[in-house]
Amino acid sequence: MSYSVSQVSALSVVLPASALAICVTYSVAYHSDHSLATHCQTANYLPSISAAVGETSPEKQIWSLFLTVSCALRLILAMAYYQEIRGRLRRDQDCCLTGGHFAVNCLELAALFGLSVVSSSDNFPIHRNCFAIFLISSSVYMLLHLRVCCRLRSRQKLTDRQLISTRSFYIKLISFGVYCLSTALAVYFYMRHQALCERLSRGVL
């Protein structure tokens, strides 16, 4: 049985989303005393991601399993995409771009895998470092990916395929902006919660 790239891509996205939904639901239903607690004894509406997926069983095992499979699928997709863009961008000046694009993608996946299987309760320094590397590498990867898209678009003629790629480029550009905004808000609310311990503040990280 063979699978298309779009099917593998969809599965790599559905797995972590499903794992998060399962873990949050289960932790609220069965481990609310632990998952909704905070360091300053104020309760959250919802558990933080770390509390929902990395503190208790079976949430921890579900998250690790789903994310391991997802990272493996994304690595396969990264290798396939690298072969595709390397075949279409053959100039010497593009070699560093395509190679860096693939390398940063692998670094992002490695960091995501590390912070998924090593919870903050298991080893906080490793979890923290993997999380920081993931944030930085994912942002750099998105920028490089946009650059790759620009290079690919510049070499296409004005056809339906280019119109589709142009639409895809702007969707990715908007997604990158939303990602940056979401990351900034997550950091802000996390620091605010750590500093002020406001009653019934929503968990972010």
Interval 137-157: pLDDT, tens = 999 999 999 999 888 877 665
Last residue within a domain, chosen from 148, 167, 194: 148
Decide which of 128, 148, 168 is a domain's last residue: 148
* Whether residue 95 sits in one domain with residue 18: yes
pLDDT at 48 over 90: no
Q: Are residues 41 and 130 in the same domain?
A: yes
Number of domains, the chain: 2
pLDDT at 170 over 60: yes
How far apart CA 201 and CA 189 sit, in angstroms, is 9
Residue 13: pLDDT band by 50, 70, 90 thresholds?
Answer: very high
Closest of 15, 27, 89 to residue 55, by C-alpha:
27
Residues 32 and 65 in one domain: yes
Contact partners, residue 2, CB within 8 Å, separation at least 6: none
* pLDDT one-digit tens code per residue, 111-141: 999 999 998 888 989 998 999 999 999 999 9
Please indicate, yes or no, whether residues 65 and 108 belong to a single structural domain of this protein: yes
| Residue 78 contacts residue 114 (beta carbons within 8 Å) | no
Question: Between 64 and 151, where is the model more confident?
Answer: 64
Mean pLDDT score of the chain: 86
Do 131 and 69 fall within a single domain?
yes
Domain boundary residue among 120, 148, 176?
148
Q: Which domain holds residue 32?
A: 5-148
Q: What is the mean pLDDT of residues 71-97?
A: 88
Query: Could you tell me if 160 and 130 lie in one domain?
Result: no
Whether 189 and 99 map to the same domain: the answer is no
Residues 84 and 169 in one domain: no
Strand runs (DSSP E) across the chain, as ranges? none
- pLDDT category at 92 given cuts 50, 70, 90 is low
